[in-house]
Amino acid sequence: MLHLALAVVAAGLSRPATEFSGKYVSGTGDINFLGLLDVAARQHSMDETEYQTVAQLYRGDWDGLMEGTGWNAWWTQNSYGPSFSAIPFMSDIEFAATAHSNAWWFNSIGDNKTAGLTHEGPAPDGCLCDAAIPCVDNQCCYYKQVCCAPPSDTHDWKTNLAFGSGRRECAPT
């Protein structure tokens, strides 16, 4: 009797296979998951009109990506995970642009000599960027977010290093 009850419960829990057919993904299974995969693939398509695409982040004069129209830089720490998880969907052009954009960030690691784009003074050795752009006059990186003006008078490297991006107050130097 117990076996019959378990069989009835198990039969009620199993879902019938459902067919999904999207623009890029089709198959049998969880239609919500398959639908999300299809949207992800569409966001890497050059002919997509319904969803925002990676191609909309591309700047030809940089041969790289700019995260959002008002940010004017590539925020690698925001985009590193999504960039790598998207590699299977990327075209050769998207892959190259993403690689170039991430390289600006990695090539701008603090060296105790180079000032950032907000002119806050040389970044400590090993300091990572907040965001990066193609180099202009050896300045490629925002090492700190500007949270109040003027940044050169109100930012303290030790405070920023100790509290990281979670602290948005400015400390006198």
The model's pLDDT over 2-58, given as tens digits with 9 standing for 90+, comes to 333 434 344 444 455 689 999 999 999 999 999 999 998 888 887 888 888 888 888
pLDDT of res. 157: 47
pLDDT at 159 over 80: no
Q: What is the dihedral of CA 124, 128, 129, 132, to 10 degrees?
A: 110
pLDDT of res. 115: 80
Write out the E strands in the chain: 19-21, 26-28, 58-59, 64-65, 131-136, 139-142
Give the mean model confidence (pLDDT) for residues 159-166.
46
- CB distance 133 to 74 below 8 Å: yes
pLDDT of res. 3: 39
Q: What is the pLDDT of residues 74-120, one digit of tens each?
A: 887 778 777 888 888 788 888 999 899 888 888 888 888 888 887 76
Residue 36: how many other CB atoms lie within 10 Å: 13
Tokens matching residue 96: 């190259």
Query: pTM surpassing 0.85?
Result: no
pLDDT of res. 67: 80
Question: Residue type at 24?
Answer: Y
Question: Residue type at 126?
Answer: G
Tokens matching residue 20: 């999904």
Q: How far apart are the first and last CA of the chain?
A: 77
pLDDT of res. 145: 61
